[in-house]
Amino acid sequence: MKPLLFAALFTASILHAADAPKSAEVTYKELKWQDDVYFLNGQPYSGLARDTHKDGKPKGEYPFKEGRLHGLVREWWDNGQLSTETNFENGQRHGLNRYWSKTGQLMKEQVYDHDKSVSEKYYDEKK
């Protein structure tokens, strides 16, 4: 009886996993922006969108949930250095955001609360 129960549960879990929605990944340029929502094929997009510089190096990673930025957005300078990390919640900046120079020096940290800046800290590039 136990092997039969195990087989049934295993089969059910496989079928459930196959039926779960997949997290899509597209290029940022494939998305269409309308009324503050990003769409792919006429539907609000959920998943990760990527953008690249002309040489193919990463330019940006943009997580979306139901057509709005949601999660950590990362962008890079054309030399490969990280330029920004911006946290989003339902399309609004929320939480700690960081900004770097082209040389990789942390320039600024800024905290947002639902798209309102609540604190900023600047760093000296000479350090």
pLDDT tens sequence across 21-56: 445 579 999 999 999 999 999 999 999 999 999 999
Look at the chain and count its residues. Answer: 127
Residue 68 backbone phi and psi in degrees, to 5: -125, 145
Q: 99 in a domain, yes or no? A: yes
Q: What is the pTM of this model?
A: 0.77
Spatial distance between the Cα atoms of 97 and 106, rounded to a whole number of angstroms: 11
Domain count, the chain: 1
We report the CATH number of the domain holding residue 89 as 2.20.110
Q: 127 in a domain, yes or no? A: no
Is 75 within 8 Å of 99 (Cβ atoms)?
Answer: no
pLDDT, one tens digit per residue, over 80-100 is: 999 999 999 999 999 999 999
Residue 96 is part of which domain span?
28-122
